[in-house]
Amino acid sequence: MKEINGGICAAKGFKAAGAHCGIRKNPGKKDLSLIVSEVPCTAAAVYTTNLVKGAPIIVDKEHLKNGVAQAIICNSGIANTCNANGVEVANAMADLVEKYAGIKADDVVVASTGVIGEPLNLEPIEAGLPGLVKALSEDGSLDACHGIMTTDTVEKQVAVEFEIGGVPCRIGGIAKGSGMIHPNMATMLVFITSDVKISSAMLQKALSADIKNTFNMLSVDGDTSTNDTVAVLANGLAGNAEITEDGEDFAEFMKALNSVNVALSRKIAADGEGATKLLECKVSGAASEEIAKVSAKSVITSSLVKSAFFGEDANWGRVLCALGYSGADLDPDTIDLTFSSAAGSVLVCKNGAGVEFSEELAAKVLHEDEILIDVSVGDGPFTATAWGCDLTYEYVKINGEYRT
């Protein structure tokens, strides 16, 4: 497997585009994206568990009941959530794709992201769609990526090439997410495309299994959004034998999907609102997978832990505190803790108690922009990894002024 360029358009038969159509006030901000396959695809998706859901999710669940899709349309700036006519507007967006791109409305995945509770006007979308369709390109991944961004500061795209049964295959994706990120399947949207031939049932199985170890192990601020959606389209143009059951081919697809989802999870965490550092917490030696996962995510979501890393303060007691209230069945006397980065590693806790360490080295380690919080909780066989970021003054500023 190797990483390649192309993002959402790396797989055969996919084109994308992004443009400013007028939903957002700033003409320099793209606010509408379209992704299409030249043929119908098997499709799968997972969504937020928030009881308050964006209207596009209601529409998408209907459209994907048959496991088929051919296009994705997404606007940024307005979430189309908590609107009396939200479902009507989301359905109309799919109808507009049919009108201008010739793809059946029922085969369109619809997504929106932005401010909750503000009405979404269809006029700029309809005005912008003809030009967007005309702009569709195999080089359009970056533009589509920019079209779905809100408070993101960098684009998030990745693609890999791999083989299934000796046949070259590709999978790629784009994502948006910077704040309101605490998926449970934040305004987190992820769109993935592949040219692998795979049944919709196995595609759903792969996605549902993988998010448990990727996007569901990601947190920026502990807020689960109303619009979280991860959607995958696979058009089969690679020409591999169709994957319809577990086996070596399915395992290879799972590896590729996981590599894309891990990369996008890390990119989202690193671009958390106001963030200066990517935090990765790896818990090892756990007696069960659930203990490892709960422990890792508790550390990564702790506001005190996040604040300490922003201040580059090796306040390791905050990590143990987060482990202690996580609800995981842990023995504090078996916990070892090390902070690592490109600047080196420093052991700060052994068997649940502090050890002497160089504050000078610790400061250098924590000054880097990617930090590993390495936690050993015993001699069990299970591990888990979670991703997050530091908590900064800028996070409060961004969210205090989000609508204004």
CA neighbours closer than 13 Å in the CB half-sphere of residue 319: 30
Q: For this structure, is 226 an active site residue?
A: no
One of 187, 193, 214, 229 is an active-site residue; which one? 187
Cα distance between residue 222 and residue 327, in whole Å:
17
- 257: closest CA among 239, 271, 243, 272? 243
- 41: closest CA among 163, 254, 199, 252? 199
Contacts 24+ apart (CB under 8 A), 61-66: 63/94, 63/106, 63/107, 63/108, 63/109, 63/110, 64/109, 66/106, 66/200
- 145: closest CA among 24, 10, 8, 264? 8
Residues assigned a catalytic role: 187
